[in-house]
Structure 1
Amino acid sequence: MRRPPTMIDLFAGCGGMSLGFQQAGFRSIMAVEHDLHAAATYAANFGEAHVFQEDIAVIPDSEIPQADLIIGGPPCQGFSNLGSKDVDDPRNKLWKEYLRFVDKAQPKVFVLENVSRFRKSNEFDLLMEEADHGSLKGYELEHDVLVASDYGVAQRRPRAIVIGTRRDLSPIGHPPTTHARVPGLDLLPWETVRSRIEGLPRVPESTELPTRDPVRYFGQAVPGHFSGLDLHIGRRPVARSLERYDHIPPGGGRFDLPDHLLSDCWRNKPTGTTDVMGRMLWDAPSPTIRTEFFKPEKGRYLHPQWSPNDPSDRVNRVITHYEAARLQDFPDTYKWCGTKVSIARQIGNAVPVGLAAAIGRHIKDRLEG
């Protein structure tokens, strides 16, 4: 039997990208993640032995194995439209550590993912220069923005994807889309919020994760494991917030609020930030699941159930961690470690599993074909 191709996952987070590539037939032989809780989640699902829970910059060249594939997404806060947009943000330099691993591991292919705005950054220009006459001159680079909903994920999440193929191989290219808003002969309809979270309890039983003995990873105790309905946790909004939620229909947002429920900042900003205090639609993909999806003032994160004629048939709350994880295509059996805030951060920072799997299948097919 042909051995599974091997991969290294850098800035691995909780493992969303690794899980997708594993589903496509790759085997992880090394993962690097600095954050303890995220690394513990990764180890809980893929094993601890090959996980390095430390700063990528301190890992010596001698520890870097050869692999068929390197995947990963250096931190993107400096590039993100929601971030500082600071070109001097030191996190933006971590992609150079990614290139060090490529240089030492000499993979057949590497995949670098980031926010879509990355392709307009100075760092991206430097990356292209590396491919022209620097450390990546042995690779052919192709880049594009892929939207997760076009690959069977119930979420409109755009990501910049750079695929580098070693020059002794045929360029891999990006995977063709499989889904569309309007399906065609070869395209399936978009997956929807309904397909992921319909039927879950409307009222979460708790606002906290279950109390249980911690688990140990990397010699340290961390909260966990949590999975499935353990993550179906709510919040305790004040009466004024509940009144606001009740005015917002599916697809609506802060512009549906009566004047007496507007905050001063909303009243003084008549345009923009249209997703703020927004309610999802049942029969469409969700917006991007970010790290603070549990705060309605951060985006369109209100539960989609809202009856115009029956106030008792309205779910006036934000989505739960469990619902967010499902919208990111994590299976119910996935084990999570950390506090509820750190788990939310892990979920929001992850690459949607379905998008990673689509890229992985395409690469594996091209390498084997």
Structure 2
Amino acid sequence: MTPTAAPLKAMALSTSPQFRLIDLFAGAGGFTLGFTASGSFQPVWAVDNNQYAAATYNANFGSHCITGDITHILPDSALDIPPADVVIGGPPCQGFSLLNKNRETDPRKQLWRPFLALVQRVKADIFVMENVPQILGSIEHEEIIQEAESLGFNLAWDKLCAADFGVAQIRWRAFIIGCRFADPKSVFPPVKTHYNADSYPLFSFFNSHKPGLVTPQPWRTVRDVIGDLPPPVGTEINQLPPPLDLHFNRQPSDLSLARYQAIPQEGMNRFDLQLLAPELTPQCWLRKKTGGTDLFGRLWWDKPAVTIRTEFFKPEKGRYLHPEQHRPITHREAARLQSFPDRFRFCGSKIEVAKQIGNAVPPLLAAKIADVVYGLLLSRAIDK
């Protein structure tokens, strides 16, 4: 059993009853994986505009994910979209991302509209919308509230840190939950399962409970989820069995390798490179004396990873260097840091697979959201 498979299985709920699930902007299916881990949700339809992501989804969940643009699909009344109890999905977050310099006018900020339109079309009683934290408090957030309430939904929203729910990654995401028959605030946000031991150093010593934590465990770390992997082999996706199929290296230039070797200790970054090896440092970094400390940084063994984005294989994009080996993290390591089990199949080129990994909702975090939704649905069944 892989390091990530065990906790995902441990979060399983009762296998009955089973509720019908639709995933919009599905990507590889990290959201669906979290919902289906318990056996309480049956995926019946999904859509993504990337053919490789849709292929990955279908390889893992069945052949019901179609490739297309939801804004073009919705007007097609002849398209058979099955009814569902729950609709989940993450409209592309780039429209709200702080990394997007054109975010104020990005049309992707309006993709919540076809999301809610499809919720209505399939007569779902619950929806879960995921995005970057910046969506909360935005004009679009207010518009979502107004539209969803006009459709009869009660709403709850919050931002959650994936590390608080067993993912070895500091990844903050916003979730908006709508429910027609109950107030989701009664169960959302979910109870945290993990805590930052650095913030609560005496926590385990006293064996006590911090309010909001149930059977709490320390945050999972990089060592916890990738420490068992051998050095990577080759530079391409290969035919070896998991986890080695995606555990391949880049082919760094001599200059890149020299830069990795110049900052050998975990936690080092571009500022250490400037200090220790200015002759190896790009001129643009030498001129820029301030800024983020994660660029060209090494991960720490005994801390969670930083947010895994789509270009985790490029150290110049963030803190993506292995804690001790002179290389960026591999696709398998990134997938594990996102909490994907090794059995999950990815389709497409290594660039496409990286996109799927970086864009995904961490399955372990999704599973905690699924607990909340399942609780709401069960409460309705009990009330009846």
Question: Could you state the TM-score of these two structures normalised by the residue count of structure 1?
Answer: 0.88
The answer to whether the aligner puts 1:81 opposite 2:98 as a matched pair is yes
Q: Aligned equivalents of 1:243 and 1:61: distance in 2?
A: 58
Q: Is the 8 A contact 1:227 1:336 kept in 2?
A: no
Deviation (angstroms), 1:262:
1.9
What residue number does 2:272 align with? 256
**Counterpart code for 2:280:** L
Q: Is the 8 A contact 2:154 2:183 kept in 1?
A: no
Q: Secondary structure at the match of 1:341?
A: helix
The answer to whether the aligner puts 1:169 opposite 2:182 as a matched pair is yes
Matching residue within 232, 239, 247 for 2:247: 232
Structure 1: tracts of 5 or more residues without a match: 212-224, 306-314
Deviations 1:206-253 (A, max 9, x none): 101237xxxxxxxxxxxxx98531111111112222222123221121
What residue number does 1:131 align with? 148
The answer to whether the aligner puts 1:45 opposite 2:60 as a matched pair is yes
Q: Aligned equivalents of 1:26 and 1:84: distance in 2?
A: 38
**Structure 1 stretches of 4+ moved >3 Å:** none
**1:61–1:84: structure 2 CA closer, same or farther, 3 Å change rule?**
farther
Q: Aligned equivalents of 1:201 and 1:33: distance in 2?
A: 34
What residue number does 1:30 align with? 45
Q: Aligned equivalents of 1:343 and 1:102: distance in 2?
A: 29
Q: Aligned equivalents of 2:369 and 2:103: distance in 1?
A: 30
Q: Aligned equivalents of 2:361 and 2:345: distance in 1?
A: 17
Deviations 1:311-331 (A, max 9, x none): xxxx10000001101111111
Q: Aligned equivalents of 1:244 and 1:124: distance in 2?
A: 43
Q: Is the 8 A contact 1:228 1:334 kept in 2?
A: no
Deviation (angstroms), 1:104:
1.5
Q: Aligned equivalents of 1:103 and 1:112: distance in 2?
A: 14
Q: Is the 8 A contact 1:61 1:104 kept in 2?
A: no
Q: Secondary structure at the match of 1:124?
A: helix
Matching residue within 310, 318, 323 for 1:304: 323
The answer to whether the aligner puts 1:278 opposite 2:322 as a matched pair is no
Q: Aligned equivalents of 2:146 and 2:294: distance in 1?
A: 37
Q: Aligned equivalents of 2:101 and 2:61: distance in 1?
A: 33
Deviation (angstroms), 1:197:
0.4
What residue number does 1:310 align with? none
Q: Aligned equivalents of 2:58 and 2:229: distance in 1?
A: 28
Q: Aligned equivalents of 2:183 and 2:172: distance in 1?
A: 26
Deviations 1:77-121 (A, max 9, x none): 121122234222222222111010111223221100001111143
The answer to whether the aligner puts 1:14 opposite 2:42 as a matched pair is no
5 Å-filtered alignment, 1:1-369, equals 2-24=16-38, 25-48=40-63, 50-59=64-73, 60-61=76-77, 63-132=80-149, 134=150, 136=151, 138-166=152-180, 168-171=181-184, 172-182=187-197, 183=203, 185=209, 186=214, 187-202=216-231, 204-210=232-238, 227-248=242-263, 249-257=265-273, 258=276, 259-305=278-324, 315-369=325-379
Deviation (angstroms), 1:3:
3.4
**1:199–1:54: structure 2 CA closer, same or farther, 3 Å change rule?**
same
Name the count of aligned residue pairs: 341
Q: Aligned equivalents of 2:106 and 2:196: distance in 1?
A: 37
**Counterpart code for 2:164:** D
Question: Structure 1 vs Structure 2: percent identity of aligned residues?
Answer: 48
Q: Secondary structure at the match of 1:250?
A: coil
Deviations 1:129-149 (A, max 9, x none): 2134x4x3x011111110000
Q: Which moved more, 1:92-101 or 1:257-266?
A: 257-266
Deviations 1:257-282 (A, max 9, x none): 13222211111111112100000011
